[in-house]
A and B are shown apart, each in its own frame.
Chain A
Amino acid sequence: SYELTQPLSVSVALGQTARITCGGNNIGSKNVHWYQQKPGQAPVLVIYRDSNRPSGIPERFSGSNSGNTATLTISRAQAGDEADYYCQVWDSSTNWVFGGGTKLTVL
């Protein structure tokens, strides 16, 4: 079965750049989507198809995907960016898969 690996936590200083990784076997060949979830709320899409931002998502959010690692980058991190972030792919043998989630802390 296909698995996605994320760090449990990432910390970033206010105004600096945070990078959250999502590892998977040849993930660069798949479409990766990223979701933000704040406490007590439903997940919200922040990046789709590796690097595309939905309307309403700040340009500070960007994504990349190559080889065995996809990355969500949050530039000029703000306190309001504190949340859990999940990557997600579809795999023909495993169906829909989520990473374990990364808790982003803005210091």
Chain B
Amino acid sequence: QVQLVESGGGVVQPGGSLRLSCAASGFTFSSYGMHWVRQAPGKGLEWVAFIRYDGSNKYYADSVKGRFTISRDNSKNTLYLQMNSLRAEDTAVYYCAKLSCSGGSCYDNWFDPWGQGTLVTVSS
């Protein structure tokens, strides 16, 4: 079955960096766009970043643009999120999620499934 497993979360000081990973299995990873979505404690869902199936296009929320970088290694079936210049407001559970359609521009499709999430805490 389709499975997404995030890792790499932890506690980091303000201004620090962290790299999250999302290991995918059960589907042809190289055919699907992938998202990162986060959820601050007690808050709602916030979309963070998206990468096309082939890595050719990347999109970011304004709140993370210039600080976060999404990437993927299709040979390893793994999605990444490099987070730099971290701030207290980046504290959240970070989920990876698969775009439901394969191939090109179907951006208005849904997120399914989601990983279990990894917690990032930015604190001194």
| A contact residues vs B (CB 8 Å cutoff) | 30-31, 33, 35, 37, 42-45, 48-49, 54, 84, 86, 88-90, 95-101
Contacts and interface: CB of A to CB of B under 8 A. Distances in A.
A86 B117 contact: no
Nearest 5 CB-CB pairings of A with B: A90-B108, A33-B110, A96-B47, A101-B44, A42-B114
Interface of B: 35, 37, 44-47, 50, 59, 61, 95, 100, 107-117
Given A42-B95, A48-B100, A96-B107, 7 more contacts: A31-B108, A33-B110, A44-B114, A84-B44, A95-B47, A98-B37, A98-B44
Contacts of B47: 95-98
Tell me whether chain A's interface is mostly helix, strand or loop, or mixed. Answer: strand
Tell me whether chain B's interface is mostly helix, strand or loop, or mixed. Answer: strand
Contacts of A35: 45, 111
9 contacts: A35-B111, A43-B95, A45-B111, A88-B45, A89-B108, A90-B109, A98-B37, A98-B46, A99-B44
